[in-house]
Amino acid sequence: MHSDMDKVEFLILRNLLHNEDYVRKVIPFIKSEYFEDTNQKIVFEEILSFIQEYNQPATKEVLCIEVEKRSDINDTSFKEIVHLIQNLDDVPIELSWLIDTTEKWCRDRAIYIALMESIHIADGKDEKKNRDSIPSILSDALAVSFDTHIGHDYLLDYEQRYESYHKKEDKIEFDLEYFNKITKGGLPNKTLNIALAGTGVGKSLFMCHVASSVLLQGRNVLYITLEMAEERIAERIDANLLNVPIQDIGDLPKQMFENKVTNLAKKTQGTLIIKEYPTASAHAGHFKSLLNELSLKKSFRPDIIFIDYLNICASSRYRGNSNINSYTFVKAIAEELRGLAVEFNVPIVSATQTTRSGFGSSDVELTDTSESFGLPATADLMFALISTEELEELGQILVKQLKNRYNDPTIHKRFVIGIDRAKMRLYDCEQSAQQDILDNKQEEEYDYEDRKPKKSFEGFKF
C-alpha cells in the first residue's frame, strides 16, 4: 500500500480532498480512466460525484459512506478502499508544482490509453472504429493540457489589464517606414492582413518582399503559394535577398550562387519554407495539418504566414462547386484564415484581386474588392496597391489604406513606396514624394466636424 502512496495518483486524490484551489483548477481535466488502480478509480469517482453535486470537496467520512453504498465491490475491496481513504491526509504542497505534475500525468495517461486503443483498432478488434480514426485519437491525446483561463474579470483583474496596456506587444516589423507608422510598429499576432491589387500590380512582389525582410530579422516564415510554383516564389525571394535582377539569377555560376546563399544564412537565424498547393484545392484545414507536420518533423514554428492568395484558397466549410454566392464563399475563407491566425498565434498576410471597376482605377475603394465585400469585414488591416503609368515611370507604387484596426486609417491615408521590379524589392521614398501626393489633391476631402468623407450622389442610380 505504501508504495502506492508515493505515486502521483495518491498525491492527486489527497489534494482533491484538502486543497480547494487545486480542485477548481484540475477537476475539469482529470478522467477516471486515467487511474490504473481500481480502488483509486472508485475513490476518484466518488470525489468527482460529490464535487459535481455539492460544489465543494468531499471529506473522508463522506467518501467512506458513499463507497459503502456501491454494489460493484466486495468486502475485501471495501476494506482496501477505506484504508486508502484513511491515508489521504492533508500535507501542504506547492500548488503550481502540483498542477504541473498533474497536467503531465494526465497527458502521459491519455497518450498511453490512446496508444493501447490504437493497437486494439489496428488489430481489427474494435467493431465500431477503423484505422482512419487512429490519427485523431492520438492527436486528441497529445493535445491534453490544462487551460485554466476562464475569462477576464473586469473589476478584479484590473492590474493585469493595466499591465497589458503598458506591455510592448511582440510585433513583426516592416522594413518600410510608412507601414510601421500605420500599424504602430508592425503586425501583431492573431491577425489577418490583406493587400488589394489588380493583376500584375505587385501582390506577390509585396508578399515576397515582406517575407524576405522578416527572414532577415531572424524570424521563421511560412509562404504558402496557390498560384505560382515554389521555385518561382523562391526565385523572387532570391532576387530580393541576393540583390540580383530576377532575369540574371539563372546566369549566376553555381559557386557564386552558393556563396551568396551561404553568406545570407550567416546573417539570419530564421527559416523560410515555401509550400505549393494546386489552385483552389487547399483550405485552412490543409494549412493546419501542414503547420502540425512542420512542427513535428522539422521543429519549425512560423512567426508569420503568407498565403498567395486568398481568392484561390478553398473553404473547409463549403465546396467550390456548391451553389453559394461568392460573398459567402470568400468571407468564409477569410474567417477560416483568421481563425488559423488566432489558433497558431501568428499574423497572416494575404492578398485579393480588385474587381474590373477597380482594375484600372487610380483610386481603389473597399467596394472594389474582388468577389466579396465580406472580406474587409474580417480583415484587421486592408490596403490597396495602386499603379498608374505615371507612378510606374517614377518607380513607385501608391498604397491606400482601406481598413485599419491598429490605427486611425485617415492618418497617412495614402503614401507611396519605391518599387524595383527587377530585384523584387520595395523601399522607402523620400519625403518629397509623399508631399507630392498631397499637392496633387489626392488626399481624401474630410469634413472635420464628423471625420467622414464627403459623399456625392451625382450619377447615383436610384
- Total domains in the fold of the chain: 2
Same domain, residue pair 338 and 237: yes
Same domain, residue pair 183 and 244: yes
Same domain, residue pair 127 and 253: no
Rounded Cα distance between 175 and 185, Å, is 10
Parent domain of 276: 171-442
Same domain, residue pair 271 and 185: yes
Give residue-wise pLDDT tens across range 218-243: 899 999 998 888 888 888 898 888 88
Could you tell me if residue 107 is inside a domain? Answer: yes
Same domain, residue pair 188 and 329: yes
Give residue-wise pLDDT tens across range 4-57: 444 788 889 989 988 888 888 888 888 888 998 888 999 999 999 998 888 888
Nearest to 393 by CA among 443, 442, 433: 433
Could you tell me if residue 161 is inside a domain? Answer: no
Could you tell me if residue 211 is inside a domain? Answer: yes
The CATH code of the domain that includes 33 is 1.10.860.10
Could you tell me if residue 453 is inside a domain? Answer: no
Same domain, residue pair 177 and 316: yes
On the question of pLDDT at 126 being above 80, the answer is no
Rounded Cα distance between 43 and 64, Å, is 9
Give residue-wise pLDDT tens across range 307-323: 987 887 877 777 655 56
Same domain, residue pair 115 and 218: no
pTM of the entire predicted model: 0.62
Same domain, residue pair 261 and 406: yes
Same domain, residue pair 201 and 111: no
Could you tell me if residue 165 is inside a domain? Answer: no
Could you tell me if residue 152 is inside a domain? Answer: no
Task: Give me the helices (H) in 19-172, please.
Answer: 20-26, 38-54, 60-68, 75-86, 95-122, 134-142, 158-166
Q: Using alpha carbons, list the distances in angstroms from residue 16 to 44, 58, 60, 63.
A: 9, 8, 11, 12
The CATH code of the domain that includes 371 is 3.40.50.300
Same domain, residue pair 186 and 316: yes
User: Would you state the cell numbers that stand for residue 395, as one nine-digit string?
Assistant: 518607380
